[in-house]
């Protein structure tokens, strides 16, 4: 056996071994919708400096399908503004639901470049239509920002094994 053939054989054997170690999903495995959301929201009617914020939202959440029990921490999000550095924050998601296309996500800011934002509640809502989130609304504390977003949905079987 040549060195090249040996390498190919070892590579193929390693790939097969790796595949055999992956647990198989069963019919009883819980399933979640994995959502990735990207959007932009703003509100020119708010007081300064918030009236100038163009907030970029990126969120990753797991939403239960049917009567499945939601995960303890279903996801996380970041918010930021390329021009106003102080907006930059991380959000821990506590709840996420997608019912009849209506998306509702609640969380809390856990880290921020602006200490006053830490601990503020965050509510993300919108109507999922295909790959868009229409009427995307992000509420931070009592400040409401609206805009639009995109969503990628993947059904994830939680592997147990």
- Half-sphere exposure of residue 75: CA atoms within 13 angstroms, side-chain side: 25
Per residue in 5-61, pLDDT (tens digit) is 555 554 555 444 444 444 444 445 556 688 999 999 999 999 988 999 999 999 999
The reported pLDDT for the residue numbered 15 is 47
Asked whether residue 71 is domain-assigned, the answer is yes
- The answer as to whether 101 is a domain residue is yes
Please indicate, yes or no, if residue 1 is contained in any of the structural domains: no
The strand ranges marked E within the chain are: 31-42, 54-64, 75-80, 89-99, 102-112, 121-129, 132-140, 143-157
Higher per-residue pLDDT: 75 or 26: 75
Which is nearest to 57 in space by CA: 116, 129, 109, 5?
109
Per the CB < 8 A criterion, the answer to whether 92 and 124 are in contact is no
Kindly tell me the sign of the dihedral angle through the C-alpha atoms of 59, 108, 126, 102: positive
Is the distance from CB of 84 to CB of 49 less than 8 angstroms? yes
Residue 84 lies in a domain: yes
Whether 146 is covered by a domain: the verdict is yes
Average pLDDT in the chain: 82
The answer to whether position 56 is within a domain reads yes
- Domain residues for 120? 31-157
Residue 20 counted as domain residue? no
pTM over 0.85: no
> In the structure encoding, which two tokens stand for residue 105, read together?
């996500």
Number of domains in the chain: 1
In a domain, 13, yes or no: no
Looking at the predicted structure, is the pLDDT value of residue 109 above 60? Answer: yes
């Amino acid at each position: 056996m040549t060195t090249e053939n040996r390498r190919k054989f070892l590579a193929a054997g390693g790939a097969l071994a790796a595949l055999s170690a992956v647990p198989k999903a069963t019919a009883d495995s819980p399933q979640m919708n994995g959502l990735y959301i990207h959007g932009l929201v703003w509100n020119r009617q708010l007081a300064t400096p918030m009236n100038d914020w163009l907030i970029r939202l990126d969120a990753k959440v797991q939403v239960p399908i049917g009567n499945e029990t939601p995960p303890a921490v279903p996801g996380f999000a970041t918010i930021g503004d390329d021009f106003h550095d102080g907006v930059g924050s991380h959000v821990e998601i506590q709840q996420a639901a997608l019912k009849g296309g209506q998306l509702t996500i609640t969380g809390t800011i856990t880290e921020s470049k602006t200490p006053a934002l830490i601990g503020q509640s965050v509510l993300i809502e919108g109507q999922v239509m295909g790959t868009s989130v229409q009427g995307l609304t992000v509420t931070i504390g009592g400040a409401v920002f609206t805009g639009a977003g995109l969503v990628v949905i993947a059904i994830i079987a939680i592997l147990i094994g």
